[in-house]
Structure 1
């Protein structure tokens, strides 16, 4: 049988990281996928890339494969080392029997499951009627939604920038957003990944949720945060102020003698759920600009009437 250089097949060095291996495989899979590529040998190269990935992504299989040495070259006549199956232990998880039967004699000789231990020989299944069926690759993407979507639930039609098959055609999907979805949460859309081959199932689409910036508030975990501008007289005298929330406007009470930075907590007004979050409102006292002589006179009157010095702690005379 012929030796297969899995590193050369994926175009990577022997010290490649797992991330390098995954990146190289995805590149090869996109290029040679039989449903996309017009190359006459696309199917064979697609299977070769998948076989190389099956070995190199698994630390145990990769370590065993590396023990063969780096002096072999693809196409050279190869014999399985004596007692190969006794020297290494590795599982065959990660591929189906249908996948394994489509791989090369080289792969089966090293990593096949069916050994006749009494004779010490490997019996390969006949492949005269083999049918190669491979599941498509999963897609991982980030998607932005509005904060209001998490409070009410929604169905949104999303257009992903491009299909991972050819990098040019956008993909449109319908996403059902449940109430209470959080930043960073992943949602799975079955069968919306890369198409399978030979009747194999399509991969899945995994979307990581993030929120678009909002002009009024932000979410952290299940709590809703908002900065509320108030006038000096509202902070000093107290006031009832109408504010927007994702579920509609409400009225909040600003206590008298509130200082800038004071936090008002509205329990249960955060993200909905079995244990809903809170809404935390930070007061921000906004000083108006003095424009007219009448306004200046009002401030001078305040200066004369109010014995207030915010720098008393310095110990200096005003």
Structure 2
């Protein structure tokens, strides 16, 4: 993947000292731009995976701390290892085969660098027996982790199967129908790995519903604009409106003005555990453009006989 050679901060376009809010803001912007359901460019999916992996690491304070300390090696380094020790051990890898006794630092300690056998050092630092078990810690369960998952309104409405990349791992997710923004989806055993056979932690996916060109979601309610002709608004009509669940019919009462909200009960986001949300269609009256000669004649006739003054009511 691209993130294997690219710095996670660079992937999100934020400085290393960026706040968690800045990291989240950058991810949301990039996710909206490169989500495969929104961007059909051939490279968009790979870019979306890259920013998702970067965010999954930098959004967790502990994981971010380890990444800042160990860089690309942060997943390999066991807990409790000093970053300077790890850096010196890596620097000494070119001298493998030599022993610590072959040289010493001015302070009397075995010298690092070319005088250290890298494998021997790692064995002493990282072996389970000499590490955690030797300290009496025993098996340690894996930590719970969090990551965000960006969904279109349609995906959140329908639910379904998704394959996502978190921390370099490919995970299959079943998304419940009717998830809402901020809802947490628990994936048992998909979090941090436990030590010495201990159970893995859980992964919590935080749902983020992406902006949509047609729908606006508030909780389980969905808002949409309903475009109507002047005569439909004046005389009343049954008008079709698109919803994430398919087409619906809205009854426009006679004398409806722009801005009026018409409510369709239960046509918002589904709710497997209760009452679904509602759909609110906000009326927007559209006039013909350009106006034909016949339409102009009829509008002029209406203007000559109508006593209606929309400004006189104020």
- TM normalised by structure 2 equals 0.56
Partner of residue 34, structure 2:
none
Q: In the TM superposition, what are the counterparts of 1:1-318 in structure 2 within 5 Å?
A: 22=62, 23-24=64-65, 27-28=68-69, 36-37=76-77, 45=81, 130=136, 132-160=138-166, 163=167, 170-273=168-271, 274-313=274-313
- Give unmatched runs, 5+ long, in structure 2: 1-58, 86-127
Change (3 A) 1:264 1:128: closer
Deviation at 1:225, TM superposition (A): 1.4
Q: Which structure features the higher share of helix residues? A: 2
Change (3 A) 1:137 1:264: same
Query: Contact between 1:267 and 1:279, CA under 8 Å: does it hold in 2?
Result: yes
Query: Contact between 1:131 and 1:198, CA under 8 Å: does it hold in 2?
Result: no
The superposition leaves residues 126-158 of structure 1 with CA deviations (integer Å, 9 ceiling, x where unpaired) of x76957533334332111123233433312112
Q: Partners of 1:309 and 1:208 in 2: how far apart?
A: 51
Query: Contact between 2:60 and 2:146, CA under 8 Å: does it hold in 1?
Result: no
- The structure 1 segments of at least 4 consecutive aligned residues displaced by more than 6 Å after TM superposition are 29-32, 46-49
- Give unmatched runs, 5+ long, in structure 1: 1-18, 50-98, 104-126, 164-169
Q: Partners of 2:60 and 2:137 in 1: how far apart?
A: 30
- TM normalised by structure 1 equals 0.56
Q: Partners of 1:286 and 1:178 in 2: how far apart?
A: 38
Q: Partners of 2:269 and 2:243 in 1: how far apart?
A: 11
The superposition leaves residues 94-123 of structure 1 with CA deviations (integer Å, 9 ceiling, x where unpaired) of xxxxx9x967xxxxxxxxxxxxxxxxxxxx
The superposition leaves residues 257-284 of structure 1 with CA deviations (integer Å, 9 ceiling, x where unpaired) of 1111111111122222322222111111
Deviation at 1:210, TM superposition (A): 1.6
RMSD, aligned CA:
3.5
Query: Contact between 2:153 and 2:209, CA under 8 Å: does it hold in 1?
Result: yes
Q: Partners of 1:256 and 1:43 in 2: how far apart?
A: 70
Which structure has the bigger radius of gyration? 1
Deviation at 1:189, TM superposition (A): 1.2
Partner-residue secondary structure (3-state), 2:296: helix
Q: Partners of 1:184 and 1:296 in 2: how far apart?
A: 51
Deviation at 1:31, TM superposition (A): 6.6
Q: Report which stretch shifted further, 254-263 or 184-193.
A: 184-193
Change (3 A) 1:44 1:228: closer
